[in-house]
Structure 1
Amino acid sequence: MAMLDIIAHKRDGCTLSTTEIHKFITGVVNHTIPDYQTAALLMAIYLKGMTTQEQTTLTKEMMESGDRLDLSAIPGIKVDKHSTGGVGDKVSLPLAAMVAACGVPVPMISGRGLGHTGGTLDKLEAIPGFKVDLTEAAFIDQVQKIGLAIVGATGSVAPADKEIYALRDVTATVGSIPLIASSIMSKKIASGTDALVIDVKTGAGAFMQTEADARKLAKALVSIGQQAGLQCMAVISDMNQPLGNKVGNTLEIEETLDALKSQGPADLMELVNTLGAQMLVLGHQAPDLATARERLETALTSGRALAKFREMIEAQGGDGRVVEDYSLMPHAKHHLTYRAKQSGVVTKLLADEVGKAAMVLGGGRQKADDALNYGVGIELLKKIGDPVSQGEALLIIHHDQTGLDAATALLDDAIELGETASAPTLIHETIN
């Protein structure tokens, strides 16, 4: 069976057999299939989709392409969280620390940025010395000792996904439901966690721009997880405008630390508490969601969550002093204030355009091997529904001159002022 035939089969809208999917994944892992053929099949899947059975088979083959972590040595119910990606979405960082501070072990395997969306690992690497690549033994040992670790997938966990993930980013195939579902669930099932909470984004800055597509993806993820014996639920949340007020790697670590000091933006904290409450209930550390929220708030106000985040930083080789001294992280040399061209109310603040603006400044990757500028980004001073006067500051562009004109043009398209608007609903739906 030639790879060319498999590509043609999917191109023509046919259902791939288990044998065909197995050959594809095996070839990816063994590097017997060239990248251009892998990219061709990814595009065919993006355009033609997959049946439920194909999707399940793809997930299983990707999971079985490597090892499955054994986390049984870690006491308690291990709970992880995953987001389908957004702009300004630093939720995993304060969330993991707060949940771990409440006694739920959080062995979190995260990813890097895809297109205009940021990656948790990229943000953490803005902290001097922070290591996201741990051995399996070190990962398990750290969660045993402090209840928390945030790392990239090791080479032995779903290695097929690592190869495919990088190509999706640069072949415009990120938004495929089968590819997203198999990528997320192959890693999460293989990571050995007991329960999983998934944040599925919908809106202008999400890969699932319509609520119907977001619901379809959420149901696919939950179904795959439950078939694998994983306690699994999903929340559909809004990504029509950036989450929080800061977009960019260092900037989002700063906002994470502000959040852990009880100074986080309201939308960020609402989503953190919504997901965190579900994690505490799944982890049997709260009998219901209301009690779980109270426990999360106590973890913040007592300082335990901030201390837990610092403990994780230092355990993974990072400089814990950043908790108090943000200047230790990389910062842009220049700041440009972007001002309103007229008076009115912010009626549009497109998350994808803001994300692209941060990317062209150097804060994200346009190619898989692009180096990041951790200090650049966008700081939002107004959001949808906020009134603004002509000449008033709407946002601050943190830049090192590269890409400034392109970023400004993108922001011109992202922002619209009108007569009236209200902030979008943050939590759309919960899927159990």
Structure 2
Amino acid sequence: MLAGKRILLIIGGGIAAYKALELIRRLRERGVAVTPVMTRAAAEFVTPLSVAALAGEEVHADLFDLTKEARMGHIQLSRVADLVVVAPATADLMAKMAQGHADDLASTLLMATDTPVLVAPAMNVRMWTHPATRRNADTLRADGVRVVGPNDGDMACGEFGPGRMAEPAEIVAAIEGALGGGRLSGRRIVMTSGPTHEPIDPVRYIANRSSGAQGNAIGRALADLGAEVVFVTGPAAVPPPLGVQVHRVETAREMRAAVLAALPADAAIFAAAVADWRVTHESASKLKKTAGTLPALAFEENPDILAEIAQLDSGRPRLVVGFAAETDDVIANATAKRARKGCDWILANDVSPATGIMGGTENAVTLITAEGSETWDRAGKDAVAARLAHRLADALEAE
């Protein structure tokens, strides 16, 4: 689907610039023409010669290069591409974009373009979580800029957390979504997936049997339709899908914080199997087994993320979707849950051991809305996800 497209690739000055080389290679394999632009700082991390050799085109770097300006001015350069991709997008570049600065070739191109823009942020975890960067990211999203990543992981500086640039394959998937003109293009969707782990002591925790497979399939289906997906996942058994912004969490409280930080959004889908309870006092040391005695554990309720988001007074997503995994009276229990939580839709499924659904490759769901219930035929989880994604697109388009 990318063959014949042209990408204007702006490479910012960060250690993640080396990933831009792999990104160029993957794009060229798909028949994409890549016009590279490098900031002065980017040349400190990768050489213009390497970039030009992989792209098969010369590198643009100087705003005041008279030879290149005579042949193709920077205004024209900014408008001949199908998509502008900034990878890595440093904190400095994002600040320039958000505030409208244009003091070098890269920032001038970004100001002069009327072409869609996709950025892949990459920076130290503290820089990414700094209020100024968060404001700039929100501004860019509000301006229509698509964002892929950053991911959690180890930093070159030795720290760990969100800030790693999305992998080249993830960026390619995001490019496909941006250029595909999908039904959810321009929509921001927050979703949760996987289980949560609620610690009892350093080696034990409360959890459930969710693999995260259905949530992953939904995230992938949404991204395939062009949505910007913020994917908040607990410790799932399967890797997250490509083309989404991944935020890894462990506990229900961490999941709640990640979801709130990801708002505003057009829709929110809560596919995670969040533990209902946690121990009141987590032990700092392993609880030792003593013959004839059992440990006394006190419990308290975890935050109800679905209900909280569904009942927001302001900033509520237009469509809030929950899941109900039941073993008895599936439709009745799920219908009651939808009313109790205040969400728009509930997808109910029977996870009794005999169904093989929990941890399996297939699912059988009933969509419950204010208008009633609709049972879908049992199908692979990818097929269920695709049907839900298109149904969600129908609802957003209708609004």
> Normalising by structure 2, what TM-score?
0.30
Query: Could you say which structure has the greater relative contact order, defined with CA pairs below 8 angstroms and 6 or more residues apart?
Result: 1
Larger Rg: 2
More strand as a share of residues = 2
Q: Which has the larger helix fraction?
A: 1
TM-score (norm: length of structure 1)? 0.28
